[in-house]
Structure 1
Amino acid sequence: MSKQSAKDNPPGSFLNKGRPYDFQFVHFKVSGAGFCIAVDEVKEIIPYSPPARKPRAMEGMAGFVELRGISVPLIDIRKRFSLPSSGQRPAKILIVRFEGRIAGIIADEVIDVEHKTIGAEGGARILTITTSEILTPEEKRFFDSPYTG
């Protein structure tokens, strides 16, 4: 049985098409809830630093952090999905790539980089989403600095 690649499964699709699928992801938590994002979307993980606010920031945006001279907009998953406060101070920012741009996702903790084989007989089903899918068109316009490096 041949294995599928990430290109065989568009974002938002269920990965259980009868062939095993190797999937690597970063597992992180926000407000006690677990989230995963594909490793190939994550550019780097940096320590949390309080964001600078900009006027007219969208509701799910926390502000910006400076990263090597680039102003990186931050996505606050807690606000985006109306999660309760955990009382835990955010610890990390996942710097992610999407549609030629970069963003930061605020995480209470990063658990691990994990590898799973998905879709084998009796195997797990997983719904994949991308950073691009959790943002509205208006929010995407908020990201005004294309990733060039």
Structure 2
Amino acid sequence: MVTVKTLKPYYIKAEKDVVRVILAYQYFSVLIHKQVYQFIPVEAKEIRLSRKTRKVVNTADRFAFQHGKDVVYMTLAELISLPDFQMQLNTIVEPYYRNEQTASKKEKKDDTSLIIQELERQNIMRMIDKALDEYDEEAFNDLVKQL
């Protein structure tokens, strides 16, 4: 039976499309048949998650774990199948997804605000045209001030 004992990132790098969780020696260990195996960065040393889909991208990467002279290799797909691994990983990267969602909502709000401003400007321009057609100098002057 395999369980995750410790999963702490050495550091996390949030890029535009992926969140990279970089692992180091003392920060990641698993229990295999009641023996603690420490992560060693022999092959893979990072977990990449898509910010869009929230799924692990590099599932084929192999991670090495050592207990004394015994070294065990596990693919990231095998690790993902462990419920405690998935839970701890989600806890680690959740703030980076929230930041992405918050930024996305803010951009949408900014875009909406720009669209509304442009529509208001176009409406004022139409009202200016109408004031010119009707020879309404007072309305024309008021509308020009609003631009």
Larger radius of gyration: 2
- TM-score normalised to structure 1 length: 0.27
Which structure's residues are more often helix, by fraction?
2
- When the two structures are superposed, what TM-score results if normalisation uses the length of structure 2? 0.27
More strand by share: 1
**Which structure is richer in relative contact order (CA contacts within 8 A, separation 6 or more)?**
1
